[in-house]
């Protein structure tokens, strides 16, 4: 079902290999303003392509890209490959080092109704529009989106393990994560990847905004090209694929931070009493542990006080939106309907456009934003499980925006993907012949 191809990647020139840690950057939607300003000081950091500055950022990125190409800052690999990408990490309180194994390829940007690539969460409209403009101007992707496939037999892992023994890069990133990138050029092995993924559906784990941008761009290009045959460069999209059957997949929570609502703490608490059980907390730093094992429970933090709030079970019948049970029962759906819509007055269909809601993964930064007056209050959430993600994908519906934070995040700048036709050209049928040979064995 899923059509993939090896990728003719652009990479920083070999003379810059020793500087890759300084040239890579966090993804556009997780890089903080402070990080951005530090990264912008390096004229060759990938932030200039992923989050360009200036009054017309997309055009600035195009100018930067053309300059980098002409000056040899980045160079394109002569032949396509499958880029093996391993991330080694530890979570707080855990001694065992984990490793998320995957590989970066080109995948066709399927429309949602084709049900080959499955989404699980809504998007923020402005972020999608920014990605579309950037893709239109540059035809470049500075980071892969993240997809999940299911392979209980782990048939591809032996090839990945072999490739990663001779990495192109082996660095420590801004998250403290060890990042290793290798490449597979063997046509027969590449064909086995193509053959294995052909029978799979893909769950889009991370990168809904970038993927929607690629999908929108593909549709526009198809409409402008009457002789479209499906093999043009603009049909494809760079994605990092990992096996959903691995034990080292981690999903972290993303908290909700609110500003400019003109609601006092007293008024919010008063409105909450009808639908929620409210408990005052002595130590706000313990919120995450206190809500962990309770369904429909959240932390609520203000400047001088913190509370645990939990929806009264009998109130669930008042959830009036027509959603499948897989979505309706989620903590975050409860939060977005009973709290954000009913208490704060922001309708669910408008929340993805709202500039009164921000998203923050780090609990300490939530406290800091509130103490500095950058936010009025925050709601602390729990992580979503992989089983819940799967059930939502199967339902055909979506969670609220920013429901999942797959950790660790992929980096921008390790490789770049181009959907410009002159960069894409290659006799990919060579791999198809190998696929047919494998299939007949």
Average pLDDT over residues 303-322: 94
How, if at all, do strands 250-252 and 405-407 pair? antiparallel
Q: How confident is the model at residue 435 (pLDDT cuts 50, 70, 90)?
A: low
Q: Residue 351: pLDDT above 50?
A: yes
What is the share, in percent, of the chain residues with pLDDT greater than 70?
Answer: 98
Query: Per-residue pLDDT tens for 190-247?
Result: 999 999 999 899 999 998 889 999 999 999 999 999 899 989 999 999 999 999 998 8
Report the chain's C-alpha Rg in angstroms. 23
Model confidence pTM above 0.95: no
| Per-residue CA distances from 230 to 227, 420, 426 (Å) | 9, 14, 15
Tell me what pLDDT residue 438 has. Answer: 44
| Per-residue CA distances from 113 to 50, 110, 118, 274, 411 (Å) | 28, 8, 9, 40, 29
Q: What are phi and psi of 248, to 5 degrees?
A: -105, 25
Round the average pLDDT of the chain to a whole number and report it: 92
Q: At what angle do helices 429-439 and 187-198 cross, to 10 degrees?
A: 70
Query: Per-residue pLDDT tens for 109-125?
Result: 999 999 999 988 878 77
> What whole-number distance in Å separates Cα of residue 377 and Cα of residue 264?
10
Average pLDDT over residues 297-301: 94
What SS3 state is found at 69? Answer: helix
Query: Per-residue pLDDT tens for 121-158?
Result: 878 777 788 889 999 999 999 999 999 999 999 999 99
Query: Per-residue pLDDT tens for 363-403?
Result: 889 999 999 999 999 999 998 888 899 899 888 888 888 88
Q: Which stretches of 109-252 are assigned E, i.e. beta strand?
A: 117-118, 140-141, 145-149, 169-172, 178-184, 202-206, 236-243, 250-252
């Amino acid at each position: 079902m899923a059509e993939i191809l090896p990728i003719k990647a652009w990479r920083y020139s070999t003379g810059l290999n020793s500087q890759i840690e300084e040239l890579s950057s966090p993804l556009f939607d997780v890089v903080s303003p402070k990080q951005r300003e530090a990264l912008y000081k390096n004229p060759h950091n990938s932030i200039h392509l992923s989050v360009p500055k200036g009054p017309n950022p997309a055009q600035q990125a195009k100018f930067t890209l053309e300059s980098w190409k002409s000056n040899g800052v980045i160079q394109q690999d002569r032949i396509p490959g499958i880029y093996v990408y391993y991330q080694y990490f530890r979570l707080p309180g855990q001694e065992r080092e984990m490793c998320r194994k995957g590989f970066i390829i080109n995948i066709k940007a399927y429309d949602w109704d084709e049900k080959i690539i499955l989404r699980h969460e809504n998007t923020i409209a402005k972020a999608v529009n920014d990605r579309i403009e950037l893709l239109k101007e540059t035809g470049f992707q500075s980071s892969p989106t993240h997809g999940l496939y299911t392979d209980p037999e782990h048939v591809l892992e032996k090839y990945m393990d072999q490739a990663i023994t001779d990495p192109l890069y082996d660095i420590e990133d801004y998250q403290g994560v060890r990042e290793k990138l290798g490449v597979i050029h063997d046509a027969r092995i590449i064909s086995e990847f193509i053959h294995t993924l052909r029978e799979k559906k893909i769950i889009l784990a991370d990168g809904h905004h970038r993927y929607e941008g690629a999908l929108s761009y593909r549709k526009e290009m198809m409409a402008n090209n009457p002789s479209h045959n499906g093999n043009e460069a603009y049909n494809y999209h760079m994605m990092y694929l990992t096996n959903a059957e691995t034990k080292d997949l981690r999903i972290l929570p993303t908290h909700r931070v609110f500003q400019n609502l003109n609601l006092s703490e007293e008024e919010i608490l008063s409105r909450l009493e009808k639908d929620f059980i409210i408990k005052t907390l002595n130590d706000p730093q313990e919120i995450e542990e206190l809500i962990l094992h309770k369904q429909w429970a959240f932390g609520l933090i203000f400047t001088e006080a913190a509370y645990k709030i939990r929806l009264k079970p009998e109130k669930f019948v008042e959830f009036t939106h027509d959603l499948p049970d897989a979505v309706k029962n989620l903590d975050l759906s409860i939060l977005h309907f009973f709290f954000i819509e009913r208490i704060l007055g922001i309708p669910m269909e408008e929340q993805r456009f709202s500039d009164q809601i921000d998203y923050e993964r780090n609990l300490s930064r939530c406290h800091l934003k509130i103490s500095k007056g950058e936010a009025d209050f925050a709601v602390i959430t729990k992580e979503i499980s992989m089983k819940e993600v799967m059930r939502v994908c199967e339902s055909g519906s979506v969670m609220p925006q920013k429901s999942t934070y797959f950790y660790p995040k992929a980096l921008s700048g390790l490789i770049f993907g181009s959907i410009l036709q002159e960069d894409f050209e290659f006799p990919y049928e060579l791999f198809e012949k190998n696929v047919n040979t494998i299939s007949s064995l």
